[in-house]
Structure 1
Amino acid sequence: MAEQKRLFLLDAFALIFRGYYALIKNPRINSKGMDTSAILGFTNTLLDVIRREKPDHLAVAFDKGGSTARNDAFPEYKSNRKETPEAIKIAVPYIHQILEAMKIPIIEVEGIEADDLIGTLSVQADKAGYQTFMVTPDKDYAQLVTENVFMYKPARMGNGIEIWDVEKVKEKFEVEDPKQVIDYLGMMGDAVDNIPGLPGVGDKTAKKFLKQYGSMEGLLANTHELKGKMKEKVEANKELGLLSKQLATIMLDCPVEFHEEDFELSVPDFQAVSDVFQELEFRRAHENFNRIFKNTTVQSETTDSSADNKQSNEVKSTQKPSIPTQQLDLFSTPSAGSEVQEVITGFNEAKNTNHLYQFVNNKLSRKILIEKLLNQKTVCFDTETTSLNTFEAELVGIAFSYEKGKGYYVNFPEDREETLLILEQFRPFFENESIQKIGQNLKYDIKVLRNYGIKTRGSIFDTMLAHYLINPDMRHNMNVLAETYLNYQPISIETLIGKKGKNQGSMRDVDLKKQTEYAVEDADVTFQLKEIFEKELEKNNLTKLFNEIEIPLLEVLAQMEIEGINVDAEFLNSLSEDLNKDIINLESKIYRKANVEFNLASPKQLGEVLFDHMKLVDKPKKTKTGQYKTSEDVLSYLAKDHEIVANILEWRGLVKLKSTYVDALPNEINKITGRIHTTYSQAVAATGRLSSNNPNLQNIPIRTERGRQVRKAFIPRDENYTLLAADYSQIELRLMAELSGDPAMKESFINGEDIHRATAAKVFNVPLDEVTREQRSNAKTVNFGIIYGVSAFGLSNQTDMSRTEAKELIDTYFETYPTLKSFISKQVDFARENGYVETLLGRRRYLKNINSQNSIVRSGDERNAVNAPLQGSAADIIKIAMINIYNIFKKENYKSKMLLQVHDELVFDIHKDELETLKPIIKYEMENAFKLSIPLDVDLDIGDNWLDAH
């Protein structure tokens, strides 16, 4: 008996949305700044179905223009749906292109939805003797399942595929026949499609009704058996119930026909597929595509095509064979030396493989390796350690690679003295000025080696920092980079040592072969990425920024992190007690005003007290779950009129301050150094700003009295030192004047005027000496607000002005500074045309939504088009200042140290004997880091703690 033929029908939009939302927290952004998550999700599902199922016949159905029939019957059908995400709108033409290149039929009919097309085709295919598999995550399709029609739910989030047959549907929905799923959906309704259903009927009730009455019609004919409110609701909504069933019914008579020859899986156009995958940067998907079709009869029919053979060969060369690991540790006789030399230089050819990762484990083999390293111009190295904390990390091994597919692993014993002796052998390599060192997140490796007395010298290339400049919005970890640029998936640390990760110190428990494979692979991949990124930096005019700012800054930050800062733990403990008293007093005050005690930390209880119990507003906003909104923006709006809300906001601020900083900072004091050591990340903020972590010292509140008190805990090294804070004054406004070229704004800065007072005088048309405090405050809010695209609504919320007054002020502001308005328009136009904006030093910020049809999404990128060059230029300038100051300190061997960078501020531990020498040097280097046509101004202050020095 001939095997039954199979037809696979894919619901395009269901799979596209599923792919997009599966990656919503970690979207796939390619080097052009395009969000390809939806395309990739769909493509992976399509290829997975073909790989797993090897179908005879396959097609993809698309919605086109919604459902005319359902909209005619119920105009509100799907009316509650949000605007389609821009990434999905972009995805559809590309998916069409992929399907056309793969010669897969596209089924779409104007005014008819994909489920109706699939339903109709499944009935026709069934009659033609086919089994039909409807590939979709949408439960509505369950109504179509028969003996020969199945739901095929693709794999997701670690769960395998699910195939629903008749019995599975009956079990899932607790029905006697899959057709009853229509009644189930009609009773329940569907919030996604805005199908109303029967009020008060949920999953359990619908299943109960179907067991009792069998259908919607059966229920409506027997409403006299129902009781209470349910009876009232069902009887009052009989027509709505029948309409809902109609809307939920998938149509089986659409104008589409199943001709098996049209649906047969055909030979793809390999070059066309290659072109679109290359444009999208789908390297791994491309490899999967070639692997799938190379191993099918479809591929074998194309063996005479030179283009296809070339494609197949390219795939073969990128596949990773098993990794041989050669242990070089048996050197008991002089003849062994020559054998080792032969193994190191010839093992690759002898094994006929693209990967050779070798384990080096004795003095002689290390000597041979060092000789080889010293003869290279560039070498990638990667440390393996027991911890992510560089002060606690012990070296487990170091991997080296200087040629694609080759590398060496040196492991270290637990005994520190023995490790130091082995490292001493490698000192000539690390301290050789003429060898370029390559790494991924080299700052970590540099700090670990410093703990062992090894300094890295010579030029360096950090692939993480290079990629950060090339594509700042993308993730920069090595696995993502390898997958994106090399079409290769390295071994993960979780695979190697379990989910505990490096921080648990379990790397030593891994056998040496696996250590070698993992470590050398990292070095090999990083070496290959360097080759790619070097060209990308050059192509995008980013080489100078990389070599002259980001790379030199790496050494500066490493030294700052090693230095750390002194913290007064006793003061913090005392402050914690004071805060606790304030918090308790505020709680009592709030409870008295509310006339009830409740859990202040519970948004649910807080909402009920404010809006049900106290009825502060008539129509309070609610979340999707029906809970009252009590977010900060909601409460801030109410705080002006309700003292209890102001108290609640103050309470929240104190609780956060206490838990996040006052109580947490003493726990961050390093037991070895007695100081706090933050870690600066260069590759996080897309604007170019540094970020501070573990602990974050950049977000300590400065606008509140209690917040400022936290800075009091940061103190000098000892009585011979004082803290000095150097802060750029209004650098972003100065840069706005510089970049826009606005003459009035530039003149104010050149004349040394108070820019906010000068702005107020102009926009309120009063003499400079008659500007009121309120006028200056409003002008200051506008000055800074313009950088962030403030609206009249936003300005009125930040001031005491009405929305009308705020709009008038913004209009007057742009009349006063017309060149500035023109600059903003030009920035947005440039971004629309090029897809990015640049800082003064060429740092790029890609704006993928600048041409979006969605005004909310688009306006965000329009604001960034103006803001990013200002923030980014400010970030670049302070980085240059840091590098120059660090070099002076190092050259002159000053005792004083640079400790912290907090946005536009630098904090130093200054030896009192060097204070008068260094103050003018710091001021000069910061003010002259980058020459503008207007002066940069830096305020210096000193003190016995950070607060006094600010």
Structure 2
Amino acid sequence: MADTPHLYLVDGSAYIFRAYHRLPPLTDPEGTPVGAVYGYTTMLWKLADDLHKADGPTHLAVVLDKSSHSFRNEIYDQYKAHRPDPPEDLVPQFPLIRHATRAFSLPCIEEPGVEADDMIASYARVAQDQGWNVTIVSSDKDLMQLVGEKDGARIDMLDTMKNARIYIEEVEEKFGVPPEKVGDVLALMGDSVDNIPGIFGVGPKTASKLIAEHGDLTAALDAAADMKKSKLKERLLEHRADAEMSRVLVTLREDCPLPIALDEMKLEGVPPEPLAAFLSKHGFTSLLKRLDAGTGSPSRKTDLNPARQDTPGAAASSEGSRQPLPDFPAVDRSAYECVQTIERLEHWVERAHAARLVAVDTETSSLDCMLCDLVGVSLALGPNDACYIPLGHGGSDMFAEKPQQIDRAAALAALAPMLASEAVLKVFHNGKYDLNVLARNGVDVSPIDDTMIISFDLDAGRQLDGIGGGHGMDELAERHLGHTCLSFKEVCGTGRKAIPFGEVPLDKATEYAAEDADVTWRLYQHLKPRLATEGGTKIYERVDRPLVPVVAQMERHGIKVDRTRLAKLSEEFASETARLEKEIHQIAGTEFTVGSPKQLGDVLFDKLGYKGGKKGKSGQYSTDQSVLERLSGDGAEIASKVLEWRQLAKLKSTYTDALQEAINPETGRVHTSYSLVGAQTGRLSSTDPNLQNIPIRTEIGRQIRDAFVASEGHVLLAADYSQIELRLAAHMADVPSLKEAFANGEDIHARTATEMFGEVNRDTRGRAKTINFAILYGISRWGLAGRLGVQPDEAQAMIDTYFQRFPGIQKYIVRKLEEVRERGYSETLFGRKTWFPRISSKNQAERQGSERAAINAPIQGTSADIIKRAMARMMPALEEAGLAHVRMLLQVHDELVFELPEADVDAASAVIERVMAGAAEPAVRLDVPLGVEIGTGTSWGAAH
């Protein structure tokens, strides 16, 4: 231990709420809710054990809030007035959390009428005055006022969420001022969570700039009188009293009576007896086993002196790359078994039943799960305990010698009961593919877990140490296991010498295939526990995992397309693009390849002399859509023609031609592939073919949708959430006028037009609609100006007016950006995290792009979560209503498409609307209704 005492003060209240929101509901043997208690216990266990083993910490105490009322309520009766009451199932857990702290033999400090922050401040100052070093375990910005050094004794902070130290430099980077001036910044910017008023409209950047320029709050307020006329000046003058009161509210008391002496906080390890009694009483058997085994904490240690990160966001986003290597033996491919007899297969199936968990992978003849042949199946029951069952190996020549292997039908018959058994958990990586392959071979699989989905729910958007931020097996094996998997090219070759997997010799095929199952098993053991400790359980269990078999079934259903109609559209598009090409050449005065960006750029800017051409690193002019739209707006007819030509050419190649080629010869339908990890916000993405980007509001887009048709005697039903993102914004930003409008069924764009422009007509409603959606995407004045065709100053005036009419939206945006900068990620109402590693980038374009995405991600992500929940519940609800024959075919943004007999439209519509409207509940209760619009027709286009 170090000679200088080192006191750690844990902000226990923050731990409690983190634990509650991270874990699913749990109850102990007596039926008492203990989910937050369990999470708090695991977090405190890890912290106490890590600090005891580290070189430096000598004393530790946990500080909790005793009650919600403090001296600040006497100063301002609205202090924390808007904070919701604790969740009903959390209230009985508060006393148990105190018991948990004491079970660790740690001091638990709480005083009535005094907030935990004030107790922490008082203890920190007393300890510092005695020459002790102090670390505050918290990320609370209010506590950053305490950071600094006095006579060689320092106070710093440890953010265990980001595994990062916070000292003077980090505080200055966050606030632009030293720690002793943080209170002045907080007084100006206020705090919506604690309902500290500050000065409305003054955000962190403005507050920081004012204090940095003028020195302190009083000087900044005094200087307002001499400022040029502006909204900022008006606000500073008008709300001076609010800022001065806010300064008192954010000031930490450092003179609270100390109920426990510093010497009583000495950290001497965790005596096992009281902890064992606590764990046993509340049924925490896994923790009790860990205690009995003598393991003080998980294998990963908190780094008490991590290398400093460039930004808070970077620190948070890279944490996922510092996961420890699991305590597994190195991958040994020679240990895998090639199963070639039914007796050996039955042996593996029996062992899988006993193990209750098996990793499964399939090998196929191609990547198309709807056309491929099943070549083999691999299983893993532990590290290096894996096998490969070849089912379709041998040369393509009918006379080629085939290796010994089990008859496919016999092997699947032996595997099927285990794969369908509720008593055996099947773990896949990208299991949707394997479920489809096995289903096409008559084998149903349930229940499942999926390591690709788990990884996505933990690390979506995270920037991970140069290995890559994807969720493919090879990337995850490198990142988490330190292992490089055999590549498909190593096994099958490349180019002309490449062979199908079914022709790979069995020894090599076994190494490759069994390794996939082995790695999947290892990844599962490593990633699944992180869901509980990092807050991913709710989104995985309540949204994403149930969706895997649902989406797989949708892919198998596919949708019928009218080949004749598509061929006719292709001809029409070809004729139209040829006509446009001639007109473009005529305007240019020369023939050139319209599809060549280089040739087009030369024509536009060199030959025709249009202004504003910019060359990139390649030396050619940029001719992307924004450039052409700008030129078109300036009256350049050729740019308008090229935009039209590009749209038609893309629609022809992407849809009318590609859809004909995508028709499955066995089913006569098109089977798109949905990615559950393709969009960072959680939205499903569609490929092969992509059905997400068909234009919605154009006549051409409608013609393409007309080619998606129902089978004879059936219709297509399209169920679409109405303005769901605006509804969610009204709820999440708590905007009374918008909530009222949705509750009354008003036209929300007309309501906005009235608020913004004082009247409703076609023009003002159109502008209001653009503004409504643009604001949610964090649009800039220049971006809005481009969309509305106005000057940037006029666009800024519209944004200002919007925020004046709907101040909750502006507060929401400020609050979300502040949260993301602090934590590195945003979060949906269902707990889906999206990481933004460049949110504090010094590169303006990167930073602003991240900010725009961070504003929208919680709303768009919550929308995605809701429709996923609706999809997972849909078929059980339809089956219960006697409508099991209704098929869910497509999911496109906020829309679900079904195929059903025309006679069942009314009954199915009622079920579908009910499920979609109530999809958020009971996990989330919204303040606005979810509107669902339903249409039917013989084609997708007619259903709209």
Normalised to the residue count of structure 1, the TM-score between the two structures is 0.62
Q: Which residue of 2 aligns with 1:17?
A: none
The answer to whether 1:392 aligns with 2:359 is no
Q: Which amino acid aligns with 1:456?
A: V
Q: Distance in 1 between the 2:489 and 2:778 partners? A: 43
- 1:363-390 CA-to-partner distances (Å, cap 9, x unmatched) read 2222222222222211111111111111
Deviates more, 1:872-881 or 1:588-597: 588-597
| 1:361-400 correspondence to structure 2 within 5 Å | 361-400=340-379
Q: Which 5+ residue runs of structure 2 have no aligned equivalent?
A: 1-161, 166-301, 310-314, 395-404, 462-468
Counterpart among 703, 709, 716 of residue 723 in structure 1 = 716
How far the C-alpha of 1:506 sits from its partner, in A, is 1.2
Q: Which amino acid aligns with 1:759?
A: T
CA contact (8 A) 1:281 1:484 kept: no
CA contact (8 A) 1:795 1:806 kept: yes
The answer to whether 1:711 aligns with 2:729 is no
Q: Distance in 1 between the 2:495 and 2:745 partners? A: 57
Q: Distance in 2 between the 1:392 and 1:760 partners? A: 52
Q: Relative to 1, partners in 2 of residues 1:286 and 1:683: Cα closer, same or farther, differing over 3 Å?
A: closer
The answer to whether 1:793 aligns with 2:782 is yes
Q: Relative to 1, partners in 2 of residues 1:283 and 1:558: Cα closer, same or farther, differing over 3 Å?
A: closer
Q: Which residue of 2 aligns with 1:109?
A: none
Q: Which residue of 1 aligns with 2:452?
A: 464
Q: Which residue of 2 aligns with 1:695?
A: 689
- 1:514-565 CA-to-partner distances (Å, cap 9, x unmatched) read 1111111111111111111111111122212212221111111011000000
CA contact (8 A) 1:283 1:486 kept: no
3-state DSSP of counterpart to 1:663: helix
CA contact (8 A) 2:379 2:517 kept: yes
CA contact (8 A) 2:390 2:406 kept: no
The answer to whether 1:493 aligns with 2:488 is yes
| 1:431-442 correspondence to structure 2 within 5 Å | 431-442=420-431
The answer to whether 1:843 aligns with 2:832 is yes
How far the C-alpha of 1:484 sits from its partner, in A, is 0.9
How far the C-alpha of 1:856 sits from its partner, in A, is 2.4
Q: Which amino acid aligns with 1:409?
A: Y
Counterpart among 849, 853, 856 of residue 860 in structure 1 = 849
Deviates more, 1:466-475 or 1:794-803: 794-803
- 1:688-714 CA-to-partner distances (Å, cap 9, x unmatched) read 000001000011122322222111100
Counterpart among 440, 445, 449 of residue 451 in structure 1 = 440
Q: Distance in 1 between the 2:613 and 2:853 partners? A: 32
CA contact (8 A) 1:701 1:707 kept: yes
CA contact (8 A) 1:274 1:286 kept: no
Q: Distance in 2 between the 1:820 and 1:283 partners? A: 35
Q: Which residue of 2 aligns with 1:829?
A: 818
CA contact (8 A) 1:386 1:505 kept: no
| 1:55-94 correspondence to structure 2 within 5 Å | none
CA contact (8 A) 2:361 2:516 kept: yes
How far the C-alpha of 1:398 sits from its partner, in A, is 1.2
CA contact (8 A) 2:878 2:908 kept: no
CA contact (8 A) 2:329 2:383 kept: no
| 1:124-523 correspondence to structure 2 within 5 Å | 318-321=329-332, 323-324=333-334, 356-413=335-392, 418-457=407-446, 459-473=447-461, 474-499=469-494, 506-523=500-517
Q: Which residue of 2 aligns with 1:897?
A: 887
How far the C-alpha of 1:424 sits from its partner, in A, is 0.7
Q: Relative to 1, partners in 2 of residues 1:837 and 1:494: Cα closer, same or farther, differing over 3 Å?
A: same
3-state DSSP of counterpart to 1:489: coil
Deviates more, 1:412-421 or 1:889-898: 412-421
CA contact (8 A) 1:378 1:435 kept: yes
- 1:109-161 CA-to-partner distances (Å, cap 9, x unmatched) read xxxxxxxxxxxxxxxxxxxxxxxxxxxxxxxxxxxxxxxxxxxxxxxxxxxxx
Q: Distance in 1 between the 2:308 and 2:443 partners? A: 45
Q: Relative to 1, partners in 2 of residues 1:498 and 1:694: Cα closer, same or farther, differing over 3 Å?
A: same
Q: Which residue of 1 aligns with 2:905?
A: 915
Q: Which residue of 1 aligns with 2:632?
A: 639
- 1:282-308 CA-to-partner distances (Å, cap 9, x unmatched) read 999999xxxxxxxxxxxxxxxxxxxxx
Q: Which amino acid aligns with 1:844?
A: K
Q: Distance in 1 between the 2:577 and 2:342 partners? A: 63
- 1:177-211 CA-to-partner distances (Å, cap 9, x unmatched) read xxxxxxxxxxxxxxxxxxxxxxxxxxxxxxxxxxx
How far the C-alpha of 1:409 sits from its partner, in A, is 1.9
CA contact (8 A) 1:836 1:844 kept: yes
Counterpart among 723, 727, 730 of residue 734 in structure 1 = 727
CA contact (8 A) 2:742 2:748 kept: yes
CA contact (8 A) 2:562 2:709 kept: yes
Q: Which residue of 1 aligns with 2:753?
A: 760
Corresponding pairs, count: 617
- 1:302-350 CA-to-partner distances (Å, cap 9, x unmatched) read xxxxxxxxxxxx99x75445x33xxxxxxxxxxxxxxxxxxxxxxxxxx
Deviates more, 1:871-880 or 1:487-496: 487-496
Q: Distance in 2 between the 1:363 and 1:656 partners? A: 52
Q: Distance in 2 between the 1:890 and 1:505 partners? A: 45
How far the C-alpha of 1:625 sits from its partner, in A, is 3.4
3-state DSSP of counterpart to 2:389: strand
Counterpart among 657, 660, 675 of residue 663 in structure 1 = 657
- 1:384-438 CA-to-partner distances (Å, cap 9, x unmatched) read 1111111222222211111222112222146999311221112221121111111
How far the C-alpha of 1:621 sits from its partner, in A, is 2.2
Q: Which amino acid aligns with 2:569?
A: L
Q: Which residue of 2 aligns with 1:879?
A: 868
Q: Distance in 2 between the 1:285 and 1:460 partners? A: 24
3-state DSSP of counterpart to 2:834: strand
Q: Distance in 2 between the 1:648 and 1:842 partners? A: 44
CA contact (8 A) 2:360 2:426 kept: yes
Q: Relative to 1, partners in 2 of residues 1:501 and 1:549: Cα closer, same or farther, differing over 3 Å?
A: farther
CA contact (8 A) 1:724 1:941 kept: yes
Q: Relative to 1, partners in 2 of residues 1:728 and 1:272: Cα closer, same or farther, differing over 3 Å?
A: closer
Normalised to the residue count of structure 2, the TM-score between the two structures is 0.62
How far the C-alpha of 1:855 sits from its partner, in A, is 2.8
- 1:21-78 CA-to-partner distances (Å, cap 9, x unmatched) read xxxxxxxxxxxxxxxxxxxxxxxxxxxxxxxxxxxxxxxxxxxxxxxxxxxxxxxxxx
CA contact (8 A) 1:472 1:686 kept: yes
Q: Which amino acid aligns with 2:369?
A: T
CA contact (8 A) 2:340 2:406 kept: no
Please report the RMSD computed on the Cα atoms of aligned residues, expressed in angstroms: 2.8
- 1:809-864 CA-to-partner distances (Å, cap 9, x unmatched) read 11111000011111110111111111111001000011112222333222222222
The answer to whether 1:626 aligns with 2:619 is yes
3-state DSSP of counterpart to 1:361: coil
3-state DSSP of counterpart to 1:899: strand
Q: Distance in 1 between the 2:320 and 2:883 partners? A: 51
CA contact (8 A) 2:378 2:514 kept: yes
- 1:785-821 CA-to-partner distances (Å, cap 9, x unmatched) read 0011111211111113222221111111100001111
- 1:608-627 CA-to-partner distances (Å, cap 9, x unmatched) read 2222222233x532223332
Q: Relative to 1, partners in 2 of residues 1:442 and 1:890: Cα closer, same or farther, differing over 3 Å?
A: farther
Percent identical among aligned pairs is 40
Q: Distance in 2 between the 1:460 and 1:453 partners? A: 17
How far the C-alpha of 1:873 sits from its partner, in A, is 0.2
CA contact (8 A) 1:469 1:542 kept: yes
Q: Which 5+ residue runs of structure 1 have no aligned equivalent?
A: 1-89, 94-270, 288-313, 325-355
